[in-house]
Structure 1
């Protein structure tokens, strides 16, 4: 029995080394979802082949995207139901999502200059692109387009008919030296085309900001894979 265990560990050790070398050479180019998940599990499951575990988790959640975006409680439940892993694995995946969001957030951290909508799009995709309900963010910029602050204005809103233009104007004043604002929200349905309510709400925000001499620079709609810029499409 001890011999079999050693043989198995030697195999796992060698396999993990090959996977890590492959990652260093190619990144995740042409990897299947279960391979990426298998690799991630290396860091929380020692001395064990994680390929089957990765496939079981993907089966439970339906897709890699759904797993990554899963609620912590759902991750815990799935881990408890999967042999050979603990809730520490759930915590690890929840941490990875937060870490990814924090990394993309660096592009819009205070004092960084925003030169185009793309500078904030990746952060927004990670932060709200996969949310099942609509959320609204605002980025406040000074005269040089440097970020003064960014803030979630609403969370879990199901209708874009109420965008709280007064709240955005108030936050603009609180930020100090605000000269322009970018607002953004997600579309849970996965389609980035603006609704009539989106257009009406944008006009309301423009008017509210105009009263305090602040310009609405753009309104961006995001999903996890795409975005729509009001400015790029001539709506601002």
Structure 2
């Protein structure tokens, strides 16, 4: 059997395996291999998947790598590198869209578990530190969210007046502040606590409720509301 026939046979076996099982249950190299099928229509994606994992350690490492690093792997051209590099952003959009779609396109975020689920999806495509404000109507449905700063709140000044102004412009009844700690450590800093109290007090002066400040780190979170910390 020649190499080309072997590759085709392997793909057929992989597709058959996928039809009878879940990709989530596949070994990591096979999960990556299936992803590569869509951008490498011919060739041995098995070897490329193994080499990517050897180089970057995990699928997370592969998808977090920059395109220049990915291109250094044999068999990975610019098209494949762009696909892998942009995939986390696409997955984040899909996750957020799913959450919104399941509740008539406006997710009700009053419940902490629902809020947590949405915020996990919001940060699914980033390893940078970012802070967002979520604007909710009086029924706690999401109106929209806005990125307010990149870098930790410790390092980037949180413009309280701007945040209040944006809440008024979006006709928000409630506001949620959120930022992430890529380290996974979600306990709030002194600066986090001060920013939370200042924003809560400022919103109160214009009759807008401050609902929560949630810190996300990996699969962990810290809710100021749950902790009664403002």
TM-score, normalising length: structure 2: 0.86
1:97–1:14 CA distance, 2 compared to 1 (3 A): same
Give the aligned partner of residue 188 of structure 2: 194
SS of aligned partner of 1:40: helix
SS of aligned partner of 1:88: helix
Count how many residue pairs are aligned between Structure 1 and Structure 2: 226
SS of aligned partner of 2:202: helix
Q: 2-side partners of 1:130 and 1:97: how far apart?
A: 5
Q: Which of 218, 222, 229 is matched with 2:223 structurally?
A: 229
Q: 1-side partners of 2:178 and 2:19: how far apart?
A: 35
Q: 2-side partners of 1:129 and 1:92: how far apart?
A: 17
Shift of 1:120: 4.2
Q: Which of 67, 75, 83 is matched with 1:75 structurally?
A: 67
1:192–1:185 CA distance, 2 compared to 1 (3 A): same
Give the aligned partner of residue 114 of structure 1: 109
Q: 2-side partners of 1:119 and 1:129: how far apart?
A: 15
1:103–1:54 CA distance, 2 compared to 1 (3 A): same
Shift of 1:172: 0.3
Aligned 8 A contact 2:152 2:179 in 1? no
Unaligned runs of 5+ in 1: none
Greater shift in the superposed pair: 130-139 or 212-221: 130-139
Give the aligned partner of residue 31 of structure 2: 36
Give the aligned partner of residue 21 of structure 1: 16
Give the aligned partner of residue 150 of structure 1: 145
Measured against aligned partners, the alpha-carbon deviations of 1:115-148 in whole angstroms (never above 9, x if no partner) come to: 4233343453344367454210111011111111
Unaligned runs of 5+ in 2: none
TM-score, normalising length: structure 1: 0.84
Give the aligned partner of residue 134 of structure 1: 129
Q: 2-side partners of 1:123 and 1:76: how far apart?
A: 32
RMSD, matched Cα:
2.4
Greater shift in the superposed pair: 88-97 or 29-38: 29-38
Q: 2-side partners of 1:224 and 1:64: how far apart?
A: 15
Give the aligned partner of residue 157 of structure 2: 162
Give the aligned partner of residue 89 of structure 1: 80
Aligned 8 A contact 1:129 1:188 in 2? no
Greater shift in the superposed pair: 128-137 or 95-104: 128-137
Aligned 8 A contact 1:139 1:181 in 2? yes
Question: Which is bigger in relative contact order (C-alpha 8 A, separation at least 6)?
Answer: 1
Q: Which of 41, 48, 53 is matched with 2:43 structurally?
A: 48
